[in-house]
A and B are shown apart, each in its own frame.
Chain A
């Protein structure tokens, strides 16, 4: 395998040697002298008035240093949110609780075991009140989760009203007109896109230190957004931005759960400040389920209008999206991400209304895909139902309604332009790798034997690479956290005096392989082997401003910034090399660890020689500045719009309802690719999470608001035994919104896969009359759907 960098080549990961030896440092591995440990008293009720909190018994226990309640932290205000629509979360419950698992008191003790013991000794007097859990009930007139809000519907995203300012055409009259035609088929279905728990395998953990002399915090947190966390802490505690240093070391998976800023992060800082000692909190898996954000949680009705020969004339969605009790970071904005991709790869007019509804449950927010899997789910399920209704091959229907490749950039009804695409080419690739015609033939013969084989397909468009400055104008900004409003990316490239390079980036990985991919970008730009490059990240004290790793954005934004910074360093180095070689800078080629004159490999200097001069200006060309370092901040002109299609083959045991995933094919297009190995890995993981939603995962609250799936015993995520190997393929349609031509791949697999599986299962059972089954497709649901179809 190649270990020197070629852009687009496989380079073994540079982070792996530490991680496979067990020497990677995650936050819970951090041990500091005198460190204290936090335990939280959490509400067993979804809705209750708190009559009293008696901490005296706990406070007197051995090893307990402090116990805090709302009275101690009220002055810090609620937890900041980026889009502060709805009710913000008090750091500790203040007078009432609005979801089970809400933190009521914080115990600080000398060991985690003692903290846990003291949690049991805090006596809270609750007066239980009725909980509102069901979304439709919550959205009904008169229901109230928060008395101070006018309605449980705290916001409504609409496809068109929202864009009046952009003077776009309202397509609703067209859709209405289509409905009135007498030659059309109208297909409509209510569907649930259930609540999920992100389940990063590393539970969240935070360690805070307060230096009373310097009046500064140092905080280590398993965060996808160290800069945002730093900003939130400085705003909450009234400190300057440079008084808070946040370090995200190894982060054991994020998937959006660690893109939030959490009350416990503020509270641990508070405890460190009060006690003068380092303080750690590591959530248990149960806490990770009931008090780290959840995702999805929609119920909606999709309607498709089309002709009997497959021309789709319009699409409508009206959905309720569960926000949970309190608004955190992005909460209310998540459906907006779905709105931007609501029409998928298709040209037809779209109308979209999503009501954001508050309930007595844990907050929802970004979970891998964030709004986009929900949007694509409804769209691609209803297209499948329509294809079946008109008796047309589901892939053919899709192909008939895609944007043509000469129509890009294609302006969608939402106002954004799809930057580039080749939807027919991507689908053709999928059919080729899957052997679509042969699969259909196999299905037919299996059916003749009484077997229930299904083939399902879904296309998708993703929006990522956040993002363009326009985001701020439409309510997406980080100003609540005291950060610059736009979604900049940044990269700093420094050639050290010994000729090695250090790259410092504004975003950090939670498994995406930044240390390798960024080394490849810089290696390619400087002609320096990847082994000579170290990529640093996740420390706000040293890294340039970066918003964070989420929304498949790092490579398209921070990667692009790093690419530009590399080019600037190279330009400066070229002047030095030209001076040393007595050649023209524009004649130089950078490769093999140095620069040489094009066509004359013997006329060369190494990076070590260049660097030596770079740090001694008097030896360089006239007017040269010392040092060899460039930092670039990049704001893209548009988001990027990756796309693709996936296909699944399933077999259903119609006696038990058991679904077996037999085979899975993916054709994705994320533009140019820097490391195909890493890209394929991202797709694999994304598919597994979508399959998890389709078949297993379900965050179930009972009618009283108790979370019934708070452990991994009952919240089932896929194991190796539940999945087949995946077949991945790619097409390459570069974007021009960044100089790398890259689009992002972190969420594609998840956005594509859930409905691919559901489409396949429904395809398997279509001969029995089954039209739709809500996820997860546990055997009980599949069996019930078969019974209902038989009865119908």
Chain B
């Protein structure tokens, strides 16, 4: 079947089997391998992308369901070479270790902050429940999103814990 959509601002079309998942279209056909697959039951969130602005698990969507949709993947998040504040936050606050869950986590985090610019720690934690990380214990992911939220509000991010410790 023919399917057309916008991915990271570019119009793309492809011929796919109905059973092709959106994540497979992105990874296998469009070579956007930053979106990962970590499970088959829609639990891990490594495949999270934005579909029409909403965080979506691209492993639980057929490619044909995305006909006409606006899809943004991790590769399309930085604009004009500028990291998105959430990407910056993950780098500044050690929000990643092995990096495998990271693209999905960043996409979920970016969608969360787009909806809620000043989330509490609890809102952040429940807002990324659909994304599993096995490395960080989430501690620094939360710090990364707090950093990004402050940046997006135009505020100075809270100091890193290691900066506080040395102060």
Contact = CB atoms under 8 A, between A and B. Distances in A.
Judge A-B direct contact (beta carbons within 8 Å): yes
Interface string B1-44: 00000000000000001010000000110011111111111011
Given A201-B101, A689-B134, A721 B87 contact: no
Contacts of A676: 162, 165
Interface of B: 17, 19, 27-28, 31-41, 43-44, 46, 73-75, 77-78, 83, 87, 90-92, 94, 96-103, 106, 121, 124-126, 128-129, 131-142, 160-163, 165
A744 interface: no
A21 B97 contact: no
Contacts of A512: 97
Nearest to B31: A31
A202 interface: yes
A88 B22 CA distance: 41
A681 B132 CA distance: 16
Given A202-B38, A681-B140, A688-B136, 8 more contacts: A22-B73, A28-B36, A200-B98, A201-B36, A201-B46, A511-B99, A677-B162, A681-B139
B64 to A, nearest CB: 15
Nearest to B90: A20
Contact of B44 (A201, A688, A721): A201
Interface in A678-725: 678, 680-681, 684-689, 711-713, 717-721, 723, 725
A391 interface: no
- Interface hub of B27, B74, B100, B140 (most chain A Cβ within 10 A): B100
A17 B99 CA distance: 10
A19 interface: yes
A139 B99 CA distance: 42
Contacts of B44: 201, 285, 712
Contact of A21 (B28, B34, B121): B34
Given A20-B106, A512-B97, A720-B128, A713 B41 contact: yes
A721 B124 CA distance: 8
Contacts of B32: 22
Given A201-B38, A510-B98, A511-B97, A22 B74 contact: yes
A252 B102 CA distance: 10
Q: Is the interface of B mostly helix, strand, loop or mixed?
A: loop
Contact of B33 (A17, A29, A203, A717): A29
- Interface hub of A20, A26, A510, A688 (most chain B Cβ within 10 A): A20
14 contacts: A10-B162, A26-B100, A200-B98, A203-B37, A203-B38, A250-B100, A677-B160, A678-B94, A684-B137, A684-B139, A685-B134, A713-B41, A725-B142, A726-B139
A24 B99 contact: yes
A90 interface: no
A726 B140 CA distance: 10
Nearest to A29: B33
Contacts of B102: 19-20
Given A19-B96, A202-B100, A712-B39, A721 B129 contact: yes
Nearest to A289: B39
- Interface hub of B31, B131, B135, B137 (most chain A Cβ within 10 A): B137
B142 A250 contact: no
A717 B87 contact: no
A286 B39 CA distance: 8
Nearest to B126: A721
The 10 closest A-B pairs by CB, nearest first: A22-B34, A252-B100, A511-B98, A19-B99, A688-B137, A511-B97, A22-B74, A684-B137, A29-B33, A712-B43
A544 B90 CA distance: 32
Interface in A118-142: none
Interface string A23-49: 111101101000000000000000000
